[in-house]
Structure 1
Amino acid sequence: MKNIKIKTFVLSFFALVLFTGLMSCKKDEGESPSKSSHKVVFKLEASAGSNISTVVYGYDSQITTATSLSGTTWTSQEITVPAGTISINIAANAIGANANSTLKAQIYVDGELKREGTSSGAILSASASWGL
């Protein structure tokens, strides 16, 4: 029963984080979206003994979810986001080994780290967003 509550909390948190990320990267009126495509890679890194479980990542409304993950690192395949893209987002959950555990979520665009979000504790949720 406890696992079901944790999973429900985690999925609800993901939805909130993703929505918040998309809204925070909204361009102001008069700004134009990216005029060229970009190569994007998403990365996760958790501290030793932690276990990455779920990640939601993508751009604009093109979202991918990966579940049932394990381990302390994860890297997406390189994706090409098209011209006109407004925002790029990642949100991830992990179970920490202890209260000092950390989770780092990173967005690389054209080989350069653009955004990084971190979390610490026994239950980890990190996110990052970048507006083009």
Structure 2
Amino acid sequence: MELETVPPTAKGPAERFTGDVYVDLVHGPRERSRLLASLVRFTPGARTNWHAHALGQTLHCTAGRGLVVTRDGTVIALRPGDTVWTPPGEEHWHGATDDNLMCHYALLEGTGDGDGTTWLEPVTDEQYRQAQAG
């Protein structure tokens, strides 16, 4: 057993996020474990780009209100205590509502040569508005 050193909070890069997003790495892959865990904070209106994970992703909301949206238009409203699983390869995005912060843990298994995330195009303002209306 050992206490892990936690790196400083990082601002989510503009090429992967719209708005202000802050990421705290909780656990990175090591030796035989491929677990990646991060605490991610979204300011109101902030969101990820469309993306998919090679081995899936679990999101667990800890605060605020948010959305998880798939390409087929499925919208899940996130509230504290909610957990969402996105299966391998499913294109989706997640973020805060336009009037609330949202914080979630993002948990995924790396692929051995990275985190297995394929980053795609930004979510348009119209896509974001439609998800909130749904």
> TM-score normalized by structure 2?
0.31
> TM-score normalized by structure 1?
0.32
Task: Point out the structure with the larger helix share.
Answer: 1
